[in-house]
């Protein structure tokens, strides 16, 4: 296992890399998370034949806070940072697994078409047209609750609540993941959410409709952030044969909450993409 430190226009990016000559599988974490959220993929027997690569996005984990946050902390900025990482590691045509924000970054990469991808699996990521109608159709938004997704400054209670709802397992929070929520540059949450509401991202519905590589969706059946019916409205010509998967017993992070079931699906998808 290697931790790379890659200097980019977005700051120094930390990347965990299992190495080896296997097919590259790039895993992109979500908002206020980090590369270690995929620890159960790096140790999974099903995935040992792949070269697993997990970067910390700018402003997250062991990566630097972005020197130009307004441009970096957007779907396009994260996609550009990931493209730089792939080029630095000389990785061509990886399979990409994007979770939550990471899924939006993966779709933005596909739409930009600057890095060739072999397949995309998303989890906890509704492919939206960036208009309020789609946002309301895709996400469970409680107007009476504070929107932690967009909140710049977290209290300790905020960090714990966010970590629990995003990556909690059995009502418990991994201490490192909790610390990484607190570490995240709060501007990343604020700027990302504002950019989405303002319509900055690419039309992800159109990206999914135009994909020529295999595409898969594997959500937790009990994901508190999503409206499952939204995914059935997508036009996805390259959708994997398993359809819109909903993993029983899992919430927003099925790869942590039901890792054996998720890893088997991820390995099957990555092998065939």
Phi-psi region of 211 (alpha: psi -120 to 50; beta: other; left: phi over 0): beta
Averaged over 142-158, what is the pLDDT?
A: 88
Query: Which is nearest to 257 in space by CA: 157, 139, 137, 174?
Result: 174
Residues whose CB is less than 8 angstroms from the CB of residue 144 and which lie 6 or more positions away in sequence, other chains included: none
| Sheet (strand 119-123) strand order | 2-8, 11-17, 51-55, 24-28, 95-99, 119-123, 215-220, 239-247
Kindly state the average pLDDT of the residues 40-68: 98
pLDDT value at residue 189? 98
CATH of the domain at 36: 3.40.50.1820
SS3 63: coil
**Looking at residues 117-131, what average pLDDT do you find?**
97
Residue 81: which of 29, 25, 124 has the closest Cα?
A: 29
Question: What one-character DSSP code corresponds to residue 31?
Answer: T
Quote the mean pLDDT of the chain.
96
The per-residue pLDDT for range 218-262, each reduced to its tens digit, is: 999 999 999 999 999 999 999 999 999 999 999 999 999 999 999
Coil, helix or strand for 140?
coil
| DSSP label at residue 184 | S
User: How many domains does the chain contain in total?
Assistant: 1
Q: Taking residues 129-157, report their average pLDDT.
A: 90
Residue 142 has pLDDT above 80, yes or no: no
Range of the domain at 76: 2-272
For residue 141, pLDDT over 90 is answered with no
Reported pTM:
0.98
**pLDDT of residue 144 exceeding 70:** no
């Amino acid at each position: 296992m290697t931790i790379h430190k890659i200097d980019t226009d977005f700051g120094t990016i930390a990347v965990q890399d299992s190495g080896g000559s296997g097919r590259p599988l790039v895993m992109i974490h979500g908002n206020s998370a980090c590369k270690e959220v995929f620890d159960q993929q790096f140790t999974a027997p099903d995935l040992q034949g792949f070269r697993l690569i997990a970067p910390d996005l700018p402003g997250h984990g062991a990566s630097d806070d972005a020197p130009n946050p307004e441009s970096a902390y957007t779907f396009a900025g994260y996609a550009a940072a990931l493209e730089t990482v792939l080029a630095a590691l000389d990785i061509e045509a990886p399979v990409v697994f994007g979770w939550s924000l990471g899924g939006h970054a993966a779709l933005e990469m596909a739409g930009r078409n600057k890095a060739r991808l072999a397949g995309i699996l998303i989890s906890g990521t509704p492919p939206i047209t960036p208009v309020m109608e789609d946002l309301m159709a895709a996400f469970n938004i409680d107007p009476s609750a504070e929107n932690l997704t967009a909140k710049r400054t977290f209290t300790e209670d905020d960090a714990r609540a966010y970590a629990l709802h995003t990556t909690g397992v059995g009502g418990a929070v991994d201490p490192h993941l909790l610390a990484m929520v607190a570490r995240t540059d709060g501007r990343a949450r604020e700027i990302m959410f504002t950019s989405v509401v303002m319509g900055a991202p690419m039309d992800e519905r159109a990206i999914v409709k135009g994909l020529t590589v295999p595409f898969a969706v594997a959500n937790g059946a009990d994901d508190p952030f999503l409206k499952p019916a939204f995914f059935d409205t997508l036009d996805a010509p390259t959708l994997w044969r398993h359809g819109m998967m909903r993993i029983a017993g899992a919430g927003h992070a099925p790869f942590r909450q039901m890792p054996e079931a998720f890893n088997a699906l991820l390995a099957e998808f990555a092998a065939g993409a």
